Amino acid sequence: MTLAGAFVFRGPRAAVWELLHDPDVLAAAMPGARQLVRTADGRYEGVMKVGLGPVTAAEFTLVVTLIDEVPPDRFTMAIDSQGTLGFTRGSARVALAETDGPATTMTYTADLQVGGRIASVGQRVVESAAKAMTAKGLEALQRALDDRLARAREGAGS
């Protein structure tokens, strides 16, 4: 399964880069995330609960390793999740580009393999759920960025 898209963050690239490396923010932005912890430089481990169609919500362990980082331009995530109902493995490439005003365009391409019982619900259902989860996650990241930038402005005004 391939997912690709772009999202424009209302904020500078350096702030978006920092946001995308904060495990607390990422955990809050990932639908179903129960936990996400930085276990080493560029490595995050966590637990997610996911349900698709007739497959009831199941817990998955998640390991994300950041590779090929070129701050603040791009990085690649190696993704590995496993649970009793299946697995997801693959990678996602993320690139950040400054745009007009204090804005940053993030482009992403993810190549994922989904297997086990979770894959039995069908490719369209899995892709649709993945796209919906991505959209919700990006909106949550924007809210977190808005909060950070507002706190920084308030701190600068003191």
User: Over the chain, what is the mean pLDDT?
Assistant: 89
Domain of 48 in residue numbering reads as: 2-157
Mind listing the pLDDT tens digit for each residue in 59-114?
899 999 999 999 999 999 999 999 988 898 999 999 999 998 889 999 999 998 98
Q: How many CB atoms lie within 10 A of CB 71?
A: 12
Cis peptide before 72 (omega within 30 of 0): yes
Predicted confidence (pLDDT) at residue 31 exceeds the cutoff of 80: no
- The pLDDT-based confidence of 6 (bands split at 50, 70, 90) is very high
Residue 54, pLDDT score:
64
What CATH number did the domain enclosing 19 receive? 3.30.530.20
What pLDDT was estimated at residue 7? 97
DSSP state of 22: -
Identify the CA nearest to 91 among candidates 74, 66, 128: 66
- H helices of the chain, where? 13-19, 23-29, 123-157
Count of structural domains, the chain: 1
